[in-house]
C-alpha cells in the first residue's frame, strides 16, 4: 500500500485557536481523508509548538509555568480537533513530548557532525511575537519611537548574546538547485518565486540557540572543543519546531515502524511561515543527511469580513461558535469552496449562508431528496432497474464517471476549490437533466423511462457522495446511508453513524437495482 504522510503547522498554544487555525486543519483533514478513501496508508500529524520566548513570556504574564500554559491550551486545540472539527489526525504531537526532545537533539548532533554549527555572538533585533531575528534594514522606528519589524509590524528588541550559528549561507546554492530540480516542492508558484528571489539574494548564517531564557530543548553537549562553553543554551524554537515533522515519522529510532512515512508528502502551512519551511527546514535536513519533504503547500489567510483578525480589533472568530451556528459540514464546505486555497479569503455571514442554501440545500440537497422521495413513494422504496440509456443519460453518467480522476488531479496540487467546482458543475447539469426529463410527468406516461431517469440521478448522487466524504464526512455518510450503500472497505475512521467510510474502490460499481431505501429526510436543510 502506498503511504502518504502529511502535516499541518504546529500552533503556538499561547492562546486559543481561531478560525485561521481551523482553516488549516480542515483543509489538511480533507486531503488526508481523500487519500485514505483513495486507498493510501495515510499518516496525518498535527500538534502544538510549545517552547520559546513567547510562551515563556505569556506564562509569566499569567503567573503560571510555561508547561502549564502549554498544556492548558494544547488541550483546547486537541479538543477542537476532536469535538468541533472532526479532524482525523493520527498523532497530536507536543514539542514537550519526550520522543521529540530526543529527535531535536539528534538532528542538532548531525548538523554539528556535518561541521555546520559554530559558536559566536549574536547581536541584532529579535521579535518575540514572530520568534524571529531581523536585520537592522528589516526594521524601522515608528512615530512612537518603537522599533518594529517592517514585514510583520511586530516590536523587536535588541538582543546580544552568545549563540550557536548554523551555516545557512553554505546552502544557498544547494537550495536553489533543489527548487529547480523539484518545481513542485513549493506551491503555489507565486509563493515559490518569493522564496527563490529571497534565496537568490544570498543567505546569512542563522542564530540557532538562545541563552537569555531557558524554556526550550537544551543544546546537546558539543563533541568538539571549540564548541564548548559555560553558558546554558536552549535551541532556537524554530529548530525544535520544524523537527516535529521527523519526530512524527519515528526519527531517530532506526527500528521505528513509522519510518516508512518519511519523506513527508506534504507540509501544509500559512503564508507567514514559508521561509522557515522552504529555506531553513530543507537546509537543516540537507545538513543532517535526511531526505527532504516532497512538497510545501502554502495557503492564504482567512480574514474576518475582509479585515485581519486580531485580539486588539476584537474580531477573532472562534471555530466552536461558528460550527454551532452553521453546522460543521457547512463550515468545512464553505472554507474550501469559497476561495482558492493559495489565496487570501474572507469569512462573512452572508457568504456562508449563500453557500449553505444555494450549493448545499437547493442544489445537491434537493436533487437527492427529490429523486429518493420519488423512489420511496412510487417504487416501493426500491432502487429501480434502468432501461436502455439515452444519449442524455450516457452523457451525464460519463461526466460523473470522470470526476474521480479530476479530483485526483486537483488534490495532487491541493486545489480543493476547483475540485468542488467541478463537482458542482456536474450537479448543475444533473439538476437541469432532472428538470428536463420531468420524471414526475413520466410517472403517468412512461414508467420505465421514469425508472431510468431516477436510476441515473441516484448514480450521480452516489458518486458525488462518495467523493464528498472527504469534505463533509457526516452529510456524505448520511447520503450514502440513504442510498443503501454498504461500507466497502476500511478507509479510515468510523463515522458518527457507526458506518465505516466507503472507499473509492467502489467507484466503478453502479447503484444496485433492488436496493431498499428508508424514508428519505433532507440531508441539507436550509438556513433560515
Ligand atoms: O506559526 N488564516 O504557529 P501559529 C489562515 N508555531 N492561517 C492562519 C491564520 C489566518 N488568519 N493565522 C495563522 C506558528 N495561520 C508556528 C508554526 S510549524 C513547525 C511552527 C496559520 O499558531 C499559520 O500560517 O502562529 C500557521 O500555518 C498556523 O496557522 C499556526 O500558526
Name, in order, each residue with C-beta under 8 angstroms of 367's C-beta and a sequence gap of 6 or more. Answer: 427, 430, 431, 434, 457, 460, 461
Instruction: Compute the distance from residue 5 Cα to the ligand 1 centre, in Å.
Output: 19
User: Which of 10, 239, 273, 343 has the most ligand 1 atoms within 8 A of CB, as the residue to mutate?
Assistant: 273
pLDDT band for position 308 (cuts 50, 70, 90): low
C-alpha 242 – ligand 1 centre gap (Å): 13
Give the distance (Å) from ligand 1 centre to CA of residue 71. Answer: 18
Residue 155, pLDDT above cutoff 60: yes
> Residue 398: pLDDT band by 50, 70, 90 thresholds?
very high
Q: How far is the CA of 147 from the centre of ligand 1 (A)?
A: 24
242-283 per-position pLDDT tens digit? 999 999 999 999 999 999 999 999 999 999 999 999 999 999
Residue 493 has pLDDT above 60, yes or no: no
How many Cβ atoms are within 10 Å of 516's Cβ, its own excluded? 11
Average pLDDT over residues 193-214: 97
Q: Which atom of ligand 1 is nearest to the CA of 269?
A: 27
Complex prediction ipTM: 0.99
**What are the contacts of 426-430 at 24+ separation with CB within 8 A?**
426/396, 426/399, 426/400, 426/460, 426/464, 427/363, 427/364, 427/367, 427/460, 427/464, 428/363, 429/396, 429/399, 430/367, 430/396, 430/400, 430/457, 430/460
pLDDT tens profile 65-124: 999 999 999 999 999 999 999 999 999 999 999 999 999 999 999 999 999 999 999 999
CA within 13 Å, CB half, 460: 32
Question: How confident is the model over 34-63, as pLDDT tens digits?
Answer: 999 999 999 999 999 999 999 999 999 999
pLDDT of residue 333: 98
Average pLDDT, the chain: 95
**How close is the Cα of 452 to the center of ligand 1, in Å?**
50
Nearest CA to ligand 1 atom 7: 20
The residue contributing the CA closest to ligand 1 atom 10 is: 20
**Which atom from ligand 1 is nearest to the alpha carbon of 48?**
6
Lining ligand 1 with CB less than 6 A are: 9-12, 20-21, 23-24, 49, 241-242, 244, 269-270, 272-273, 301-302, 309
Residue 230's pLDDT band, with cuts at 50, 70 and 90, is: very high
- Nearest residue to 469 via CA among 30, 2, 6: 30
The reported pLDDT for the residue numbered 267 is 98
Residues 128-153, mean pLDDT to the nearest whole number = 94
Which residue has the CA at smallest separation from atom 16 of ligand 1?
A: 11
**Concatenated DSSP letters for 438-494?**
-HHHHHHH-HHHHHHHHHHHHHHHHHHHHHHTTT-HHHHHHHHHHTTPPP-S--SS-
3-state helix, strand, coil in the chain (%, to 5): 50, 15, 35
In the chain, pLDDT over 90 holds for what percent of residues?
91
Ligand 1 centre distance from Cα of residue 293 (Å): 19
The pTM of the full predicted model, rounded to 2 decimals, is: 0.96
Cα gap 164→483, rounded to integer Å? 62
Q: Whose CA is nearest to atom 24 of ligand 1?
A: 270
Does the pLDDT at position 478 exceed 80? yes
pLDDT range class, residue 318, cuts 50, 70, 90: confident
Residue-level pLDDT at 528: 84
Whether 317 shows a pLDDT value over 80: the answer reads no
Report the first-to-last Cα separation within the chain, whole angstroms.
Answer: 46
441 CB-near residues (< 8 Å, 6+ apart): none
Place 525 in a pLDDT band, splitting at 50, 70 and 90: very high
Instruction: Indicate whether 489 pLDDT > 80.
Output: no
Q: Please give the number of the atom of ligand 1 that sits closest to the Cα of 308.
A: 11
Query: Which residues have CB under 8 Å from 189's CB, separation 6+?
Result: none
Does the structure show a pLDDT above 70 at 494? Answer: no
Q: Looking at ligand 1, which atom is closest to the CA of residue 270?
A: 24
Cα separation, 369 vs 360, whole angstroms: 12
Name the closest-CA residue to atom 3, ligand 1: 11
pLDDT tens digits, residue range 172-184? 999 999 999 999 9
Cβ contacts of 433-439, under 8 Å, gap ≥ 24:
433/392, 433/396, 433/457, 434/367, 434/370, 434/371, 436/392, 437/392, 439/371, 439/374
Whether residue 516 contacts residue 528, with contact meaning beta carbons closer than 8 Å, is answered with: no
The residue to mutate among 15, 270, 338, having the most atoms of ligand 1 within 8 angstroms of its beta carbon, is 270
Q: Which atom of ligand 1 is nearest to the CA of 300?
A: 5
Nearest CA to ligand 1 atom 31: 11
Quick one: average pLDDT of 470-482? 96
Residue 499's pLDDT band (boundaries 50, 70, 90)? low
Mean pLDDT to the nearest integer, 463-479: 97
Q: How far is the CA of 282 from the centre of ligand 1 (A)?
A: 19
Distance CA 299, CA 340 (A): 9
Q: Is residue 453 pLDDT above 90, yes or no?
A: yes
Nearest-CA residue for atom 13 of ligand 1: 20
CA of 9 to the centre of ligand 1 (A): 6
- Kindly give the distance from the C-alpha atom of residue 299 to the centroid of ligand 1, in angstroms, as a whole number: 10
Asked whether the predicted pLDDT for residue 313 surpasses 70, the reply is no
Q: Which atom of ligand 1 is nearest to the CA of 303?
A: 11
* Ligand 1 site-directed mutation target among 272, 300, 315, most atoms within 8 Å of CB: 272
What tens digit of pLDDT does each residue of 342-358 get? 999 998 889 999 999 99
Amino acid at each position: 500500500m502506498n503511504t502518504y504522510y502529511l502535516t499541518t503547522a504546529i500552533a503556538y498554544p499561547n492562546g486559543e485557536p481561531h478560525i485561521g487555525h481551523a482553516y488549516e486543519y480542515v483543509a489538511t483533514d480533507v486531503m488526508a481523508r481523500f487519500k485514505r478513501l483513495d486507498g493510501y496508508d495515510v499518516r496525518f500529524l498535527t500538534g502544538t509548538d510549545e517552547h520559546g520566548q513567547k510562551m515563556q513570556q505569556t506564562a509569566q504574564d499569567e503567573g503560571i509555568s510555561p508547561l502549564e500554559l502549554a498544556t492548558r491550551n494544547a488541550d483546547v486545540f486537541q479538543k477542537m480537533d476532536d469535538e468541533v472539527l472532526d479532524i482525523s489526525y493520527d498523532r497530536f504531537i507536543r514539542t514537550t513530548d519526550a520522543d521529540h526532545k530526543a529527535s531535536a537533539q539528534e538532528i542538532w548532533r548531525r548538523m554539528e557532525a556535518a561541521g555546520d554549527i559554530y559558536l559566536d555572538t549574536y547581536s541584532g533585533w529579535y521579535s518575540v511575537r514572530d520568534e524571529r531575528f531581523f536585520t537592522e534594514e528589516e526594521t524601522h522606528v515608528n512615530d512612537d519611537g518603537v522599533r518594529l519589524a517592517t514585514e510583520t509590524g511586530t516590536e523587536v528588541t535588541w538582543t546580544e548574546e552568545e549563540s550557536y550559528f548554523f551555516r545557512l549561507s553554505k546552502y544557498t546554492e544547494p537550495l536553489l538547485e533543489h527548487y529547480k530540480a523539484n518545481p513542485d516542492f513549493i506551491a503555489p508558484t507565486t509563493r515559490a518565486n518569493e522564496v527563490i528571489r529571497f534565496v537568490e539574494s544570498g543567505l546569512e548564517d542563522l542564530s540557532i540557540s538562545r541563552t537569555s531564557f531557558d524554556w526550550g530543548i537544551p543544546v546537546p553537549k558539543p563533541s568538539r572543543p571549540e564548541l564548548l562553553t559555560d553558558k546554558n543554551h536552549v535551541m532556537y524554537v524554530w529548530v525544535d519546531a520544524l523537527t516535529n515533522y521527523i519526530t512524527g515519522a519515528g526519527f531517530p529510532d532506526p527500528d521505528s515502524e513509522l519510518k516508512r512515512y518519511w519523506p513527508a508528502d506534504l507540509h501544509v502551512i500559512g503564508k507567514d511561515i514559508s521561509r522557515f519551511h522552504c529555506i531553513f527546514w530543507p537546509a537543516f535536513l540537507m545538513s543532517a543527511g535526511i531526505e527532504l519533504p516532497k512538497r510545501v503547500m502554502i495557503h492564504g489567510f482567512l480574514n474576518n469580513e475582509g479585515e485581519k483578525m486580531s485580539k486588539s480589533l476584537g474580531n477573532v472568530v472562534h471555530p466552536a461558535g461558528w460550527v454551532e451556528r452553521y453546522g460543521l459540514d457547512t463550515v468545512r464546505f464553505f472554507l474550501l469552496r469559497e476561495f482558492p486555497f493559495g489565496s487570501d479569503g474572507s469569512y462573512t455571514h452572508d457568504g456562508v449562508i449563500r453557500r449553505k442554501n444555494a450549493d448545499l440545500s437547493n442544489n445537491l440537497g434537493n436533487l437527492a431528496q427529490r429523486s429518493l422521495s420519488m423512489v420511496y413513494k412510487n417504487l416501493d422504496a426500491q432502487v429501480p432497474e434502468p432501461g436502455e440509456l439515452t444519449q442524455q443519460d450516457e452523457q451525464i453518467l460519463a461526466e460523473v464517471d470522470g470526476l474521480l480522476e479530476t479530483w485526483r488531479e486537483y488534490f495532487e496540487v491541493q486545489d480543493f476549490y476547483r475540485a468542488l467546482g467541478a463537482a458542482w458543475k456536474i450537479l448543475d447539469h444533473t439538476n437541469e437533466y432532472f428538470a428536463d426529463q420531468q420524471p414526475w410527468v413520466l410517472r403517468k406516461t412512461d414508467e420505465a423511462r421514469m425508472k431510468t431517469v431516477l436510476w441515473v440521478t441516484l448514480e450521480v448522487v452516489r458518486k458525488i457522495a462518495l467523493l464528498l466524504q472527504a469534505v463533509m464526512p457526516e452529510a456524505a455518510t448520511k447520503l450514502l446511508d440513504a442510498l443503501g450503500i454498504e461500507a466497502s472497505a476500511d478507509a479510515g475512521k468510523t463515522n458518527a453513524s457507526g458506518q465505516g467510510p466507503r472507499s473509492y474502490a467502489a467507484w466503478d460499481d453502479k447503484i444496485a437495482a433492488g436496493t431498499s431505501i428508508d424514508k428519505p429526510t433532507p440531508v441539507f436543510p436550509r438556513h433560515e
